[in-house]
Amino acid sequence: MIVALAVTPPAAGALLLLTGRRADRAAPAAGVLVATAVLALAVAAAVTCPVARFAVLPGWPGGLAVDGLSGVLVVTVASVLLAILVFAAAYGYGARFFGLMLLFAGAMLVTVTASDLVLLLMGWEVMGAMSYALIGYEWREAEPVRSADVAFLTTRAADLGLYAAAGFAVAGSHSLALSALGGAAEPWRDLAAAGAVLAALGKSAQLPFSFWLSRAMAGPSPVSALLHSATMVAAGAYLLLRLHPLLAATGWAGTFVAWAGAVTALLLGAVALAQRDLKQLLAASTCAQIGFMVLGAGAGSVPGGTAQLVAHAAVKSLLFLCAGAWLTALGTKQLDELHGAARRYRLVGAAFGAGALSLAGLPPLALWVTKDEVLTAAAERSPALFAVGLAASVLSAAYAAKALFAVWRGTRTDGARVPMPMLARLPLVILAAAACVLGVLGLPGVADALDIPGETRVNGPELAVSGVLAAVTILAVRFARTIPAPAWAADWLFLERAARAGIVRPAFALARALARFDDRFVDGAVRAVARSGPWAAGLAGRGAELRLDGLVTGVGRGARRLAALARRPQTGLVHTYYAQAAVLLAVLVAVAVLAGW
Amino acid sequence: MNENPADVAPELCVLIAAVLGLVNGLFLPRTRQWRVALVCAAGLVAGLVVAAVDATRPDLVVFDAFVVDPITHVTRITVLGATLLVLALAAGPVRDHPRESEHYVLILLSALGAMALGASSDLLVVVAAYLLASIPAYALAGFGKDAHGTEAALKYYLMGAFLGVVMLAGVTLLYGVGRGTAYGTLRAGLAGAPSAAVSAGVVALLAGLLFKAGTVPGQFWVPDVTEGAPPAVAAFVTTVPKIGAFAALLRFGSEALPPGAGGWPALVAVIAAATMTLGNLAAFGQDNVRRLLAYSTVSQAGYLLVPVAMAGRTDLARTALLFYVAAYAVTNLGAFAVVLAAGRDDLAAYTGLLRTSPLLGLSLVVCLLGFVGTPPTAVFVGKVLMFGAALDGRYAWLAAVAALNTVASVFYYLRWIVPLFRRPDGALRPARAASAVAVAAAVFSVALGVGAGVALTP
């Protein structure tokens, strides 16, 4: 069953891709059908917790396995995939879209069920490649392709950490199993942890890699909905949650990861607040919310991080689908131009409202509970960490409110109302409901029932404080004249510029210098050899060739002369034949006598 | 003493076919004389079958002078097969000729002489076989009764007579010093004989055999006869008698001479080197294809003498000679068949043959490349064996000379091959029967080369 779960979506996706345009008409139905089957399989897998042991590399046992954490994630991935594919089916995407989406989700399913590093890397890589293909879905235009390049190169660079981690794991524990990493020998354990943390931070767009997520907005909205919720960015958080024993074992890694998450949540929260583009705002908020998950993984709250992941998946896919619906209907995603959009499309508006309020952390909605579960764990670690996390949660209430009021404020008069497809409404309703009630995951007992390792603790006063803070912040945003939008925040902390200046340009400068070296010295040597060839040939032609040529001509001339000589005995006169034969016989007698002497 | 005539049944088959052909020819009208060809062919086929059966039996000696051993088997089969091809070649040109039946009968009798030459182990029988192989060939050379043919016949006869007389003198001398003419007796007798007399006797005896083989110093007739005689006869005299002559040379060298007597390896090696060099050099400038082929046969005879020189020194010598002689026979007949089919003697007439008549042109290319020694033709295997024999017999310089000559020979064979690929300047109507013989010979040459492993196993 677990193999069917891991193989069905990629196989169906590959089939759709291979069939190409011919399958365009059947693709939406096929995609939804496969996604439904995958959801059924995922639920069944989560209940039965199957294990499949096999070795991809001979001698390195591993395989696929579903435990509590994986079970929650496969159900989340399958649900979000189904909701998004139903939505996309309403908007008439083709076979390529559904094929890539299924492959993308399939890679995520492999990633979360892998129990060894080889399979994990396979899923990880395919997911990265598919994200590239999906971000650059509109490949005929230059900008999406450039964005896809940036996103792919950034995550790819961070991925190298996971390869290094695999190497260190082999060196340290002579095993590729994820569960064996925590017990690796001393220097290797730290190195493996560093590699894995690097890869996870890159994949989930934490600082300093956050800028690629801004670029990922170039893809279609359903792609963003999937990429920002249950796959790709979630994979990084999942890896940290999965490797929590390793982080805990090293000591430093847990603290580092917790701070990385908290700082990302704070800074990217500010970035989100400064955005004027709805999708960019949502992208930055993704970084910030993933920051809470990372904080949870670092602070040792695996159930909190997992609950945050699941609840955020529902909320963020919902918000992106709403943004996509408006983008299609109104042709804009600028916050200034979206005034009144919620009133014109009331269902979308209501769903968006539920999602945004959940994102703001308003009680009793989902993210209020899950986020505070993480914060409770952070408070136990260090007050500073808790303070940063609390500030970040205030910021998240602020940017969620900014988006909410942008779409609800005012009324629209321009243009005709484009009716929204019936099929697109269903996932919005379901996801909105999930965004409201998934907070139950954070309740004590639920996580235990789901068999997620670790202890669930919710601090009552803390919950009350953060709920009040969220409500106050929302009201403050409602009545604020202006919301500050400093340039550093609006431009994503200048991260992409910094990467360009700090890494891309030096790399190119080095490459150019090396190319010059290659041209001048290496190539120069080759050219010198090439030049010396004709020179030597000329020398040979003037000096040796004439003599050699003369020799060859001489041989030819000699042969002709000898040939003429050889025809001389054939006089045609019998008496000369007789004479020659007689003389030859005499000579032969002499030869015979001398030889026999 | 074994006097069972059944042991020489292949020879008897040929003889009976010749006599029957002659008698039939007396009574048949001129337009029906082709039946004689059928009678003769039937005799040859019967001989081939009997010879093939005989080849599976143990060696034996008949009449104290006639050895039936692998040399004889190969000689018989090669001579009979080659003669069959020559009959097919000759049937067309002499059709309805006043003396058609005599033509076939003379060919058969000369072939009989060649077979006897290869099988005899007594100098007197060798002389008789020499005469039997030669005299019908003289008549055949002048068969056309034209000026060229008559001159060719006369030269052929005069050279044959002169060298035959020298050969008789050699036999006499060897009989005198060796106290016998049977090879077994000679081997014992010559061991203690004065070496100068033995050397003179050997050289004199060789004069006749080398005349038949067409090597130095008896090569003078080859170009003149090949050019002057009818083409089918030219194909015959440059192929069939040579088979017998080389078999006789090999047998004499390995069975009659005690080791080292008469300066054997050195003497024959010098002759071989001179022959191949002369033949190749003289072929360079030829524009007449029959003359070119004549010199080519002289040079091939030089290569064939290499294993003869190594007779008794290495076991490879016999294998090499027998395989090479068979390969040479089929390749030479193929080349002559193309000349007969094309009906032209000048080199220029063959321009573009591969386009006007692809099958015939391809056969010619196969045969000429075969002469050069290109894999996978039969002559290639023969040449490899020949080089092997020379090196095995520690005559590396002879192998070097042969290799040098092979390289030189590429020049004149290519002079013929290259124009075949050019654009034709005139239509050529090849004769059908000769074309079939050419194709068959080319196919057989390749088959023998590819199947050399099978052929060499016994």
Both tokens assigned to A142: 């230059």
Whether residue B375 is preceded by a cis peptide bond, meaning omega within 30 degrees of 0, is no
Distance CA B360, CA B288 (A): 19
Distance CA B211, CA B204 (A): 11
Residue type, A503: I
Q: How confident is the model at residue B376 (pLDDT cuts 50, 70, 90)?
A: confident
Distance CA A114, CA A236 (A): 14
Q: What does the pLDDT read at residue A540?
A: 78
Collapsing DSSP to helix, strand or coil, B265 comes out as: helix
CA angle centred on B441, ends B440 and B443, rounded to 5°:
65
Q: How confident is the model at residue A567 (pLDDT cuts 50, 70, 90)?
A: confident
Name the nearest CA neighbour of A320 among A367, A286, A368. A286
Q: How confident is the model at residue B458 (pLDDT cuts 50, 70, 90)?
A: low
Query: Which span out of A566-575, B38-47, B143-152 was modeled with the highest average pLDDT?
Result: B38-47
Q: What does the pLDDT read at residue A424?
A: 83
How much is the mean pLDDT over chain A?
86
Q: What does the pLDDT read at residue B155?
A: 93
Q: Would you tell me how many other CB atoms lie within 10 Å of the CB of residue B394? A: 12
| Cβ <8 Å between B284 and A578 | no
Q: Which of A580, A583, A585, A597 to mutate to test the interface with B (most CBs of B within 10 A)?
A: A585
Q: What does the pLDDT read at residue B104?
A: 94
Number of residues that make up chain B: 458
Q: Which of A574, A588, A593 to mutate to test the interface with B (most CBs of B within 10 A)?
A: A588
Q: Is A418 on the interface with B (CB under 8 A)?
A: no
Residues of chain A found within 8 Å of residue B268, distances taken between Cβ atoms: none
C-alpha dihedral (A223, A228, A229, A233), degrees to nearest 10: 120
Both tokens assigned to B363: 């056969």
Q: Would you tell me how many other CB atoms lie within 10 Å of the CB of residue A416? A: 5
Distance CA A571, CA B43 (A): 41
Distance CA A564, CA A570 (A): 11
Both tokens assigned to A332: 């804009």
Question: Per-residue pLDDT for A328 more than 70?
Answer: yes
Distance CA A451, CA A453 (A): 6
pLDDT one-digit tens code per residue, A437-446:
888 887 777 7
pLDDT one-digit tens code per residue, A267-278:
999 899 888 888
Contact status, residue B383 vs residue B449, Cβ threshold 8 Å: no
The average pLDDT across A483-500 equals 82
Question: Per-residue pLDDT for B383 more than 90?
Answer: yes
Q: How confident is the model at residue A413 (pLDDT cuts 50, 70, 90)?
A: low
**C-alpha B274 chain-centroid distance:** 19
Taking only residues 311 to 370 of chain A, the set having a beta carbon closer than 8 angstroms to any beta carbon of chain B reads: none
Q: What does the pLDDT read at residue A231?
A: 85
Distance CA A348, CA A353 (A): 8
Distance CA A117, CA A110 (A): 11
Return the bridge partners of B60, or none: B68
Q: Would you tell me how many other CB atoms lie within 10 Å of the CB of residue A414? A: 7
Both tokens assigned to B281: 């050099």
pLDDT: is B454 or B254 the higher one? B254
ipTM value of the model?
Answer: 0.90
Domain residue spans in chain A? 261-490, 502-584
Contact status, residue B8 vs residue B62, Cβ threshold 8 Å: yes
pLDDT one-digit tens code per residue, B329-357:
999 999 999 999 988 888 888 888 888 88
Taking only residues 505 to 564 of chain A, the set having a beta carbon closer than 8 angstroms to any beta carbon of chain B reads: 559-560, 562-564
| Cβ <8 Å between B199 and A570 | no
Q: Which of B157, B177, B198, B203 to mutate to test the interface with A (most CBs of A within 10 A)?
A: B203
Q: How many CA atoms lie within 13 A of B93 on its CB side?
A: 22
Return the bridge partners of B288, or none: B346
